[in-house]
Amino acid sequence: MRIGIVGLGLIGGSLAKAYKRAGIKVYGYDKNHLITELAIMAKSIDQELTKENTKDCSVIFLAISPDQAVKWMEEHGNELSTNTIVIDCCGTKRKVCEAGVQWSQKYGFTFVGGHPMAGLQFGGFKNSKESLFDGALFVVVPSDPNDLFTLQKVKEVVLLAGFSKVTYTTPENHDKIIAFTSQMAHVVSNAFIKSETAREEGTKISAGSYRDFTRVAYLDAAMWTELFLENKDYLKSEIDFLCNELRKYSKALEENDSEGLYKLLKEGKDRKMEVDHRCD
């Protein structure tokens, strides 16, 4: 088996290292050629992914942005073997999956949407590590949910990188859920840290909740701008809902409404308990 990886940042670099750990031959490419050379020197990949060897790969992961993934399939799809499975690792799925179906049908390779649910505060190849995906979830967004042979092969390949669980969904459902579970966390954290209190007092009086809540405020602005705009319908709906809820808390405080505030807080606690119970 040979694995190809396009994009050697945090996700792509960690995939490369994880598959090398598993004893698999890895070809890698990054638009920054120095990163590709560094990955070879660090033995994180065996050699550069090129026009000549892409057809030798059983699976190629696109660990790049949705726009870049779409462009790569358009420009390189004709270089792939009909036995190659292309899996994107993008944070949104509707756009890239639509393009993946289009170009796979034209060129004959197999496309499967994917999303590795793991990450770190800081990106880049220098922060990648072979254990990043150990115990993590990998979301598969199949082009053909009835192609059980391909889905089984994808599952087997993914588990080799350390993932412990694979789940399946549609592009629409993925983007709706990710707007709440991931994108909202980044938006709220990023807005929260803009408070003048953070600038003036910093972390003089803080505990774990402040650290955890602000961790994802440190983000790649260009990447998240693209992801947010691609998922703007679902994300805006979640933001509007949260703003409406926050206004209820603000009103209760303004009116010194202890009963109303208690009710809001209890509702939130009860919902958290309900959600945790369903996840057990």
Give 10's pLDDT tier (boundaries 50, 70, 90).
very high
**200: CB partners within 8 A, 6+ apart:** none
Q: In the chain, what percentage of residues exceed pLDDT 70?
A: 99
Give 208's pLDDT tier (boundaries 50, 70, 90).
confident
pLDDT of residue 278: 80
* Beta-bridge partners for 280: none
Global pTM value: 0.90
Q: pLDDT for 235-272, tens place per residue?
A: 999 999 999 999 999 999 999 999 999 999 999 999 99
Q: Is the pLDDT of residue 173 over 70?
A: yes
Q: pLDDT for 48-96, tens place per residue?
A: 999 999 999 999 999 999 999 999 999 999 999 999 999 999 999 999 9
Q: In angstroms, rounded to a whole number, what is the distance separating the alpha carbons of residues 251 and 20?
A: 56
User: Mean pLDDT across the chain, nearest whole number?
Assistant: 94
Give 202's pLDDT tier (boundaries 50, 70, 90).
low
231 DSSP assignment: T
Q: In the chain, what percentage of residues exceed pLDDT 90?
A: 87
